[in-house]
A and B are shown apart, each in its own frame.
Chain A
C-alpha cells in the first residue's frame, strides 16, 4: 500500500514531480476529497448567495452529523476488512427503542431531564448491544460480515416496523419539547450534533493514527495472518470495531430522535450505503488495510453538500438528482485513485 503510494507520487507530472520530492504528503490521493469538497463549496457559493450563510452552513453540518458519526465508526470496521450493512436499520431500531423507553419512563419519573438522560443511556446500550451481536457473529462464529449484517439489516428494519405496528413511534409531546434543544440548540450558537460530530471525528482520527487500536485495525485489514503472528488479538479487535460502530449508532440516534421526535420503518433507510460511500470517498480502502477518519468526514460533507446545492440551485430537473450525485461520488473517487490504476 505505502509502496504503491510512493510510486504514484514519483510518476507524478507537473509541479509536484518538479519540486524536490515532497512525496506522498502532497498527492491527489490525499487531496482528492478535499479538492472535491472545495469545488462543491465554490460551486454552491457561486450558485446561491445564501449558501454560505450561517443558517445554511449550520443546517448542512447538523444534518450530516448522523451519517458522519456512523461513518467514523464505519471507517474502523472497513479498515479492519469488514463491512456493516445494518447501521441504517439499527439506527431506526435504536430510535424506536429509545422512544418507547422514554415514553414508558414518563409514568414513574415524570417529564424531566433525568428521563431524557436515561433514554440516552438506553440508546447507547441498544446500539452497543446490537453492534456486539454483529461482532460476536463475525469474530467468534466466523460468519461473513456481509451476510451477518445483511441479515441484521432485515431483522432491525422489520422489528422497527413491528414495534410501530406499521405506523410511526412518536415521543411524548412534552418530553419532546424538553429534548428538542439537543438537536436545535447548543453552546455559542453551534448546535449539539455538530459539536458531537466534531468530537467523535477528532477522537476517531486520534484513535486511527496514534492509538494501538487504529494500527491493529489496519494490520488486520491488510493481512489477518500476519496480524495474528504479530500478536494482534484479531478477534477482540474485530469485535471491538463492530461494538464501537454500534455505540456510535447509539450516539447518532441520541441526536436524531429530538429532531422530529419520531421513528418508523422508513427511518434511516440507506444510511448504511451513505456511510460506506462517505468512507470510501474519503480514501479508506474498501477491502481494508488503510483507513482515514478525516476522509470519511469530508466524504459525508460532500454527500450532504450535493443534496443541499441541488436543492438551493434547482438548475436541473429533480428527476436527475440521483444521477448527479452518482457522478460526483464517482468523480471524487476517480480523482484520488487515477494514479493507482497505473500500478
Chain B
C-alpha cells in the first residue's frame, strides 16, 4: 500500500509543481530517477532509500521535483528514460543501468541533449558519458572480507565460498577475496554459485557439508545467501564448527552481529543507500554552485559488533 502511495505522491507532486511553475520565483528543476524494480533484497533496499531521499529532498528544496521509474528489464528502462526526457523535460537523470550495454547509447542520447547524467553502481560501457559516477566498491567488498579471513584463520584452515550470479561484478569480488587471502595458507576447498538466492545457497551449503568433514569458515558473500548457509549448517548440527561472513548489510544479519552471534562475527557493507548519495549529490549540484562532478566510490566497510549500530536500519526492507 505504502509504496504505491509514494509513487502516486511523487507523480502528483511533480505534476503540481510543474503546473504551478510560473507562480514561483526560484528556478524549477526536475530530476528523473531510473532504477531496477525491487525484485530481490538489495534492490528492495535500493528502492526504499531512493524514495526516502526523494521525499527528503522535496521537503528541503520546494523548487525540485522528481520522476521515479522502476523497471523490470533493460528495455523498459530505456523506454522510461525516453519518456522522462520527452514528456517531463528532466534537467538531470540519475540512473542505475539495468545492464551496461543496452543502456549506454540511450543514456548517451540523454547526455547529448545537455541533461546532467548521474550513473549509479553499474558503469556504462563507454567511459566519459556521465557527469557523476556513484558506486559501491566491489573490489573492496571482496578485499575487506578476505582480510578478515586472513587475520582470523590459521594456515591450513579450510573455507568454502558461495558465489553470486556469474557476472563481472561477482568476478571482481571473488578475485579480490582470493588476492586478499593469498599467502595466508588458507585452503579454499570449493566455490559454487548460490546466485544470491537463499534457497540455492541452502542447497549448495548442504552439499558442501556432505562433502567436507572439516570446514572452518564460509564466505557467503551476500546476506541472503548467508541466511540459507546458516540454516544448512544448523540442520547438519555443525553450528560450533565454523563462522560465516555474508555481505551487503541486511538488517537481520546486522542485528545478529550487534547481538554478538558467534557464527556471524562481521559483515561487509555494499550499501543500497548509495542511490541516496547519488540523488542528493545531483540535487545539490542543481540547486547550488557546489561542484559535484566526478567519481564517488563508497568504500566497503567492515561491520563489527562494536560499530553495527550505525549500519542498522530497522525500517528498510533490506
Contacts and interface: CB of A to CB of B under 8 A. Distances in A.
Interface in A208-228: none
Nearest to B44: A166
A321 B39 contact: no
Interface in B220-277: 224, 227-228, 231, 235-236, 252
Contact of A164 (B44, B193, B231): B44
Contact of B166 (A167, A259, A267, A319): A319
A311 B163 CA distance: 13
Interface string B183-213: 0000000111100011100111011101100
Given A48-B211, A167-B45, A319-B166, A63 B206 contact: yes
Query: For the side of the interface on A, what is the size category?
Result: 20 to 34
Interface centre among B44, B207, B236 (most CB of A within 10 A): B207
A157 B3 CA distance: 16
Interface string A139-175: 0000000000000000000000110111110100000
Given A308-B207, A311-B211, A161 B38 contact: yes
A325 interface: no
B199 A165 contact: no
B235 A165 contact: no
Contact of B206 (A59, A164, A166): A59
A266 interface: yes
Contact of A56 (B43, B210, B231): B210
Name the residue in B4, B41, B224 with the highest tally of chain A Cβ atoms < 10 Å from its Cβ: B41
B203 A260 contact: no
Contacts of A48: 210-211
Interface string A40-77: 00000000101101011001000100000000000000
Contacts of A170: 252
A335 interface: no
Nearest to A267: B199
B317 interface: yes
B204 A166 contact: no
B295 interface: no
Contact of A260 (B47, B190, B228): B228
A168 B196 CA distance: 13
B101 to A, nearest CB: 20
B318 interface: yes
Contacts of A56: 207, 210
Interface string A101-140: 0000000000000000000000000000000000000000
A161 B43 CA distance: 11
A314 interface: yes
A277 B62 CA distance: 55
B37 interface: yes
Nearest to A51: B210
A265 B207 contact: no
Contact of B202 (A164, A260, A308): A260
A262 B227 contact: yes
The A interface is mostly helix, strand or loop, or mixed, namely helix
Contacts of B2: 165
A307 interface: yes
A318 interface: yes
Given A161-B37, A162-B3, A265-B38, A59 B207 contact: yes
B210 A314 contact: no
Interface in B11-40: 37-40
B307 to A, nearest CB: 23
A312 interface: yes
Interface string A283-326: 00000000000000000000000011001101000110100000
A184 B317 contact: no
B43 to A, nearest CB: 7
Contacts of A55: 210, 236
A168 B252 CA distance: 10
A27 interface: no
Contacts of A164: 44, 317
Nearest to B1: A162
Contact of A167 (B207, B211, B317): B317
A165 to B, nearest CB: 5
A56 B252 CA distance: 29
A166 B42 CA distance: 9
B149 interface: no
Given A162-B4, A166-B317, A265-B38, 14 more contacts: A55-B210, A63-B202, A165-B3, A165-B38, A165-B48, A167-B317, A168-B224, A184-B235, A259-B231, A260-B199, A267-B199, A311-B204, A312-B210, A314-B190
21 contacts: A55-B236, A56-B210, A59-B207, A63-B203, A164-B317, A166-B47, A167-B44, A167-B45, A167-B318, A259-B199, A259-B202, A260-B199, A260-B202, A262-B198, A264-B198, A307-B203, A308-B203, A311-B204, A312-B210, A318-B163, A318-B166
Interface of B: 2-4, 37-41, 43-45, 47-48, 163, 166, 190-193, 197-199, 202-204, 206-208, 210-211, 224, 227-228, 231, 235-236, 252, 316-318
What 5 A-B pairs are tightest by C-beta distance, nearest first? Answer: A166-B38, A167-B317, A166-B44, A311-B207, A167-B44
